């Protein structure tokens, strides 16, 4: 029987933050050719889907998330031909490529915004969100930017404010305008025609805002004074400019286009409540998979992890993408304590994600248990604009490929961000590839195991196993995955039958039959196979 499953079902994703992945021209910034050269590495590691962060022409105020041309490649990264080569060679190696679409806002240097500011009567004005000042001349309402300060900037020549959920250099597009929707239909087709297999959609929950532009309510008990601007965002319930009911209509429209090309839509839907993700998928008629960012927030606590993951699957079935880390949040190893402990826990956590229905996504460097680079520069706009804020630079430091080459094999030049004072030979990919006991080998073994144990990819929904609160364990058909977040070894009673431990984060692939229960060391995880 022909395989009717979508190609992404059971796949493992890998996020490439292009600026920091692999430089090949010595300018200190990663590039398309760097990705191409590392494709065999990625295929061997066992990932199936590559998400490449924005590589389109951009003045770079938010490192590519401010796009000035949606149909080209920034010369910093290469050319359209370079991208074509990446896609073709990835396909030859059995991998798919997702581009990063940024539809919420463009760059202020995009010709649409230039036209909108130059000619307030012209057709492009309404591509963006313009409002008259409040009676006192200030911003039209109390909306604030993610990056600090008001979400409005006055355009003095025309006397109106434009809205920007992020930087003033990232004006929000007006998705109530049908013309904007038509533009993006064509942008989608442009990339699908070129062979791109789908998109990761940036801030996918925020494309529309209330048309009455009402103030957002303040959260109870929060004082705004004396705070760094970036935290003001958290003082409001963004009921009028995030997660608006009509947003999924846009993805239903894109879903029909994607279907013509058998392409995938993964959304950065940054709402933490599992219930609120359901309508973005709409039974497969809108996004194919939203990221479930609660995965990045769970602390190293069995109960909390069990609850977070359990809620995700109970409500969303097999549609979720599970990020281990991302370029916006700390590396998993950082989050779970840093150093060796953090790395060990990150691998145990990844083992759980690998067993869940849906798509686990690694972020570059996770395969060697990287924690954040210790750097004291400020490149990230969050850090630049907010005195005292921890920005995202630490998670974006370049990949340390090799200990023997200058620039850790990332660049022959000066890296755009330092590697961090906590990088040495042991935190390089090459060193870990030489050591069969390393995190890299364990991670690779886990990814390959997942391909062999069909129930980890396509099995029934997890049945959560009872046990001590430190333990997170579930069965999926012929597989059991169990992790111990506590400080002492814990036993987990197994479902009826005989079971064999086939993967242990302490030893990698193994073949150890057990009786009615399995013992898990603290900060470790195991995968078992039903053997009769």
- Residues with a catalytic annotation lie at 202, 268
Closer to ligand GLC by Cβ: residue 129 or 494: 129
Shortest distance, position 147 Cβ to ligand GLC, whole Å: 8
- 366 is a site residue for ligand GLC (CB under 6 A): no
Nearest alpha carbon to residue 101 among 19, 173, 3: 173
N residues, the chain: 532
Closer to ligand GLC by Cβ: residue 23 or 202: 202
Closer to ligand GLC by Cβ: residue 65 or 124: 65
Closer to ligand GLC by Cβ: residue 130 or 166: 166
Nearest alpha carbon to residue 292 among 318, 270, 317: 270
- 102 is a site residue for ligand GLC (CB under 6 A): yes
Report how many helices (DSSP H) and strands (DSSP E) the chain contains, helices first: 14, 19
Shortest distance, position 366 Cβ to ligand GLC, whole Å: 16
Shortest distance, position 519 Cβ to ligand GLC, whole Å: 40
Distances from the Cα of 519 to the Cαs of 136, 237, 447, 462, 467, in angstroms? 67, 44, 22, 20, 11
Taken in order 110, 114, 120, 122, the sign of the CA dihedral is negative
Strand pairing class (508-514; 499-504): antiparallel
- Using CB under 6 A as the binding rule, the residues of this chain from 63 to 82 that contact ligand GLC are 65
Contact flags string 440-479 toward ligand GLC, x per CB under 6 A: ----------------------------------------
Closer to ligand GLC by Cβ: residue 95 or 102: 102
Q: Sheet of 508-514: strands edge to edge?
A: 463-464, 471-476, 479-484, 524-530, 499-504, 508-514
Shortest distance, position 391 Cβ to ligand GLC, whole Å: 11
Dist. CA 378–CA 418, nearest whole Å: 11
For residue 155 the two structure tokens come to 């355009």
For residue 136 the two structure tokens come to 């006192």
Q: How many other CB atoms are found less than 10 A from the CB of residue 458?
A: 14
For residue 392 the two structure tokens come to 């995202």
- 172 is a site residue for ligand GLC (CB under 6 A): no
Shortest distance, position 268 Cβ to ligand GLC, whole Å: 6
For ligand GLC (CB under 6 A), the number of binding residues is 9
Closest residue by beta carbon to ligand GLC: 65
Dist. CA 192–CA 141, nearest whole Å: 39
Among 62, 371, 393, 470, binds ligand GLC (CB under 6 A): 62
Contact flags string 299-328 toward ligand GLC, x per CB under 6 A: ----------------------------xx
Closer to ligand GLC by Cβ: residue 327 or 444: 327
Which residues neighbour 361 within 8 Å (Cβ) at sequence distance 6 or greater? Answer: 12, 13, 14, 15, 51, 291, 321, 322, 323, 324, 326
Shortest distance, position 471 Cβ to ligand GLC, whole Å: 33
Closer to ligand GLC by Cβ: residue 24 or 170: 170
Strand pairing class (13-16; 49-52): parallel
- Using CB under 6 A as the binding rule, the residues of this chain from 127 to 166 that contact ligand GLC are 166
- 203 is a site residue for ligand GLC (CB under 6 A): yes
Shortest distance, position 319 Cβ to ligand GLC, whole Å: 20
Closer to ligand GLC by Cβ: residue 266 or 475: 266
Shortest distance, position 509 Cβ to ligand GLC, whole Å: 34
Among 169, 202, 371, 523, binds ligand GLC (CB under 6 A): 202
Q: Calculate the CA dihedral of residues 200, 201, 203, 205 and round it to 10 degrees.
A: -120
With H, G, I as helix, E, B as strand and everything else as coil, classify residue 411: coil
For residue 39 the two structure tokens come to 């494709």
Rg from Cα positions in the chain: 23
Dist. CA 72–CA 482, nearest whole Å: 45
Contact flags string 389-428 toward ligand GLC, x per CB under 6 A: ----------------------------------------
Dist. CA 297–CA 308, nearest whole Å: 9
- 196 is a site residue for ligand GLC (CB under 6 A): no
Interface residues with ligand GLC (CB under 6 A) are: 62, 65, 102, 166, 202-203, 268, 327-328
């Amino acid at each position: 029987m022909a395989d009717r499953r979508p190609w992404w079902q059971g796949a493992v994703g890998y996020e490439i933050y292009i600026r920091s992945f692999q430089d090949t021209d010595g300018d200190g910034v990663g590039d398309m050719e760097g990705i191409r050269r590392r494709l065999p590495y990625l295929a061997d590691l066992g990932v199936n889907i590559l998400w490449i962060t924005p590589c389109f022409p951009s003045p770079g105020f938010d490192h590519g998330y401010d796009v000035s041309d949606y149909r080209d490649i920034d010369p910093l990264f290469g050319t359209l031909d370079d991208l074509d080569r990446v896609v073709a060679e990835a396909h030859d190696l059995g991998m798919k490529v997702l581009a990063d679409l940024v539809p919420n806002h463009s760059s202020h240097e995009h010709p649409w915004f230039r036209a909108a500011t130059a000619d307030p009567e012209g057709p492009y004005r309404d591509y963006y969100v313009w409002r008259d000042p409040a009676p006192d001349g200030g911003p039209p309402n109390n909306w604030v930017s993610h990056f600090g300060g008001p979400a409005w900037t006055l355009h003095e020549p025309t006397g109106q404010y434009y809205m920007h959920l992020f930087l003033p250099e990232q004006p929000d597009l007006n998705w109530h305008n049908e013309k904007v929707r038509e533009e993006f239909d064509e942008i989608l087709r442009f990339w699908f025609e070129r062979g791109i297999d789908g998109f990761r959609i940036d801030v996918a929950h925020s494309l529309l805002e209330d048309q009455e532009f009402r103030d957002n309510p303040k959260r109870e008990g929060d004082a705004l004074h004396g705070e760094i601007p970036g935290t003001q965002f958290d003082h409001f319930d963004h009921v009028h400019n995030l997660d608006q009911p009509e947003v999924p209509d846009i993805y239903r429209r894109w879903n029909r286009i994607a279907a013509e090309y058998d392409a995938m839509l993964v959304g950065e839907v940054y709402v933490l409540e599992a219930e609120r993700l359901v309508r973005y998928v709409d039974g497969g008629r809108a996004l194919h998979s939203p990221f479930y960012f609660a995965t990045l927030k769970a602390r190293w606590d069995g109960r909390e992890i069990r609850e977070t993951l359990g809620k995700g699957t109970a409500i969303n079935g097999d549609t979720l993408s599970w990020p281990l880390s991302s370029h916006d949040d700390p590396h998993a190893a950082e989050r779970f304590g840093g150093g060796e402990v953090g790395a060990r826990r990150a691998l145990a956590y990844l083992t759980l994600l690998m067993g869940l229905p849906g798509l686990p996504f690694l972020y570059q460097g996770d395969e060697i248990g990287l924690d954040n680079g210790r750097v004291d520069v400020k490149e990230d706009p969050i850090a630049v604009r907010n005195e005292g804020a921890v920005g995202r630079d630490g998670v974006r430091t370049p990949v340390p490929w090799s200990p023997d080459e200058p620039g850790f094999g990332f660049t022959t030049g000066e890296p755009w961000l330092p590697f961090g004072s906590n990088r040495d030979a042991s935190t390089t990919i090459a060193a870990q590839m030489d050591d069969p006991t390393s995190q890299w080998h364990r991670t690779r073994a886990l990814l390959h195991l997942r391909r062999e144990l069909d129930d980890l990819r396509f099995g029934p929904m997890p049945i959560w196993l009872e046990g001590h609160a430190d333990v997170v364990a579930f069965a999926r058909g012929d597989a059991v995955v169990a992790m111990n977040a506590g400080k002492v070894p814990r036993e987990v009673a197994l479902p009826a039958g005989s079971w064999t431990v086939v993967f242990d984060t302490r030893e990698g692939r193994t073949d150890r039959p057990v009786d009615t229960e399995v013992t898990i060391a603290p900060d470790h995880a195991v995968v078992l196979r039903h053997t009769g």
